[in-house]
A and B are shown apart, each in its own frame.
Chain A
Amino acid sequence: DVKVTQSSRYLVKRTGEKVFLECVQDMDHENMFWYRQDPGLGLRLIYFSYDVKMKEKGDIPEGYSVSREKKERFSLILESASTNQTSMYLCASRKQGNYGYTFGSGTRLTVV
């Protein structure tokens, strides 16, 4: 069964910490995405990547960066975590082109 795996289901971090959220897919997909999901706001795109070493800003990139050194792995980095970054973070991947996304199970991050 094809999968998108996010490294942690729940994470608690302190304000100011550097936080790494990892996402790995085993489908050889070119495109990968990071969204955050908040009640009433739906899914908002943070960053995405067309392919290895490539990255593009989404709608809310401030306070985040990403890394895609290998095709199967897309990392989201919170440079200095803040309480307003408390959220559910969802990683997704898809084959290049107009195809459906496959989502990971999500990481619920709490910044205290």
Chain B
Amino acid sequence: GQQVMQIPQYQHVQEGEDFTTYCNSSTTLSNIQWYKQRPGGHPVFLIQLVKSGEVKKQKRLTFQFGEAKKNSSLHITATQTTDVGTYFCAGGDTDKLIFGTGTRLQVFP
């Protein structure tokens, strides 16, 4: 079946450093979504990418969808302690999303 892999599993950074998480699918995706889950919380929708090669920005967050629509990345510039949490990508097919395993980000002040 379809699988969505995410790396790294954990990332510890100093506040102010950049952070990137990568998402790879075994099949071509119709869209990719990104979610953030704060410690003790539930996943919250951040953004959706649909087009091949698409790049979207939300303040310090940059999201990319690969040309082949099989991979994606989330880059955070100059991390802050409020960025702490687990970031999930989720690949869409016509019915439902398949979630990646997530990248847990820890930011040290």
Contact partners of B100 in chain A: CB under 8 A: 42
Residue contact A101 to B42, C-beta cutoff 8 Å: no
B95 lies within 8 A of A48 (CB): yes
**CB of A102 to closest CB in B, whole Å:** 7
B1-28 contacts to A (CB < 8 Å): 1, 6, 9
- Contact residues, A59-108 vs B (CB, 8 A): 59, 90, 92, 98-106
Q: Are A101 and B1 CB-contacts (below 8 A) given A90-B43, A106-B42?
A: no
The reply to whether the CB of B96 lies closer than 8 angstroms to some CB of chain A is yes
Q: Which of A43, A98, A102, A106 meets B92, CB within 8 Å?
A: A98
Measured CA separation A21–B43 after assembly (Å)? 19
Cβ of B6 to closest chain A Cβ, rounded Å: 8
Q: Interface size on B (CB < 8 Å)?
A: 25
Residues of A in contact with B, size category: 20 to 34
Enumerate chain B residues within 8 angstroms of A99, measured Cβ to Cβ: 48
Whole-angstrom distance from the CB of A58 to the nearest CB of chain B? 7
CB contacts (< 8 Å) of A43 on chain B: these are 43, 88, 90, 99
| Cβ contact within 8 Å between B96 and A100 | no
Q: How far is the CA of A99 from the CA of B90 in the complex (A)?
A: 12
- Do B97 and A101 have beta carbons less than 8 Å apart? yes
Contact of A33 among B6, B31, B35, B96 (CB under 8 A): B96
Interfacial residues, chain B to chain A (CB-CB below 8 A): 1, 6, 9, 30-31, 33, 35, 41-45, 48, 50, 88, 90, 92, 95-102
Q: What are 26 A-B residue pairs whose CB atoms fall within 8 Å in the complex? A: A40-B101, A41-B101, A42-B6, A42-B99, A43-B43, A43-B88, A44-B99, A45-B96, A45-B98, A50-B95, A58-B96, A90-B43, A98-B30, A98-B48, A98-B50, A100-B45, A100-B48, A101-B33, A101-B35, A101-B45, A101-B90, A102-B45, A103-B43, A104-B42, A105-B41, A105-B42
